[in-house]
Amino acid sequence: MNFIQTVVLGAIAGFTIYLGLPFGRITKISEGTRTFLSMFSAGILLFILFDVLSNLSEPIKAAITENKNYPQFFILLGIFVVGFGLGLLGLIAFDQRFMRSKPGAAQPSNPTRLAFMIATGIGLHNFSEGLAIGQSAGRGELAFAALLIIGFGLHNATEGFGIVGPLVGENRPSWGFIGLAGLIGGGPTFVGTIVGYFFLSDAMFVLFLSLAAGALVYIIGELFNMNRRSGLKFYAGWGLFIGFLFGYFTDMILTIAGV
C-alpha cells in the first residue's frame, strides 16, 4: 500500500462520520425522545472515553513493564498529565471565553455550541486513529492497516450521531454546519494518516489521546447538565445505557473480526 493509497483510504475512514451527521436534522419529536437521543450520544462518548484511556495507557505501561525504560515512562506519564489537563481545562476556558454569552454563566452551552465541542473532542481522538493507520501502513503491515481503515470507518459512522445527538429535535443544523462538524470530527483521521505514515511517535500518540480524554470528560459533563431535568431522568438513563452498549458492542464486533 503506497502513500497515496493509504491517504485516500484514511480519508474514507475519517469521513464516514458524515453517515451519522444528517440525523441531527430530525425535527418534531417529543421532549422525552429528544432527551433519550441526546443521552444516547453521551453514552457513545462515554464509551469512547473508556476506549481512549485504555489505548493511551498501553504505551505508558509498556515503557516500564516491557522495555524497563524509566525515563520514557515518566516522559509519557508527564505528557498524559499535561495533555489531559489542557484538554479539560483548555476546553472549559474556551467555552467560557468564546461560547457563552456571559463569561462564567451557569447555564450549559446551547446544543449547537455543544455539538461543536463534541466534534472537536472526537477530532482529537480521530487524529490518533489516523496515526495508527499511517504507522501500520508505513511499517509495511498492510493487512493490519486495511483492517484499521475498515474498523475506524465503521466506528466513525457512529461518532457522527454522537456529535449531533444534542441537536435532534432541538436546533436543526444547517447543511453547512454538518459539513463543518464532519470536517472537524473526521478530518483529523486524514491528517493523522499522513503524519503517521512518515513519523512514528508514542509521545504524539499519548498527547492527542490525552487531549481527547480531557475534552470528552468536559463534554460528557455538559451533556449530563443539559439533560438533568427530573421529569426526564428515566429517558436520560435509558439513553445513556443503550448508547454505551451500542459503542461497546460495535467495538466488540470489530475486535472479534480482528480489527
Per-residue pLDDT of the chain (259 residues), as tens digits, is 678 888 888 888 888 889 888 877 877 778 788 788 888 888 888 888 888 888 888 889 999 888 788 999 999 999 999 999 988 898 788 777 755 545 444 455 577 888 888 888 888 878 877 887 787 777 666 665 666 676 667 667 777 877 887 787 667 788 898 999 999 999 998 898 888 888 877 888 888 888 888 888 888 888 888 777 767 889 999 999 998 998 888 778 767 766 5
| pLDDT at residue 117, as a whole number | 84
Distance between CA atoms of 11 and 5, rounded to whole angstroms? Answer: 10
Distance between CA atoms of 13 and 193, rounded to whole angstroms? Answer: 10
In this structure, what C-alpha cell is assigned to residue 40? 444516547
Residue with cell 458492542: 249
Distance between CA atoms of 122 and 125, rounded to whole angstroms? Answer: 5
Residue with cell 513493564: 65
Distances (CA, A) of 206 to 89, 96, 230: 18, 27, 38
Q: Which residues, 6 or more positions from 59, have their beta carbon under 8 angstroms from its beta carbon?
A: 76, 202, 205, 206
Are residues 159 and 20 in contact, defined by beta-carbon separation less than 8 angstroms?
A: yes
| pLDDT at residue 99, as a whole number | 57
Q: Is 131 exposed, middle or buried (0-12, 13-18, 19+ CB in 10 A)?
A: buried
Tell me the residue range of the domain where 16 lies: 3-256
Task: Indicate if the alpha-carbon torsion angle 56, 60, 61, 67 is positive or negative.
Answer: positive
Residue 51's closest CA among 232, 238, 257, 209?
A: 209
| pLDDT at residue 75, as a whole number | 95
| pLDDT at residue 254, as a whole number | 66
| pLDDT at residue 151, as a whole number | 64
**Tally of domains in the chain:** 1
On the CB side of 109, CA atoms within 13 Å amount to 26
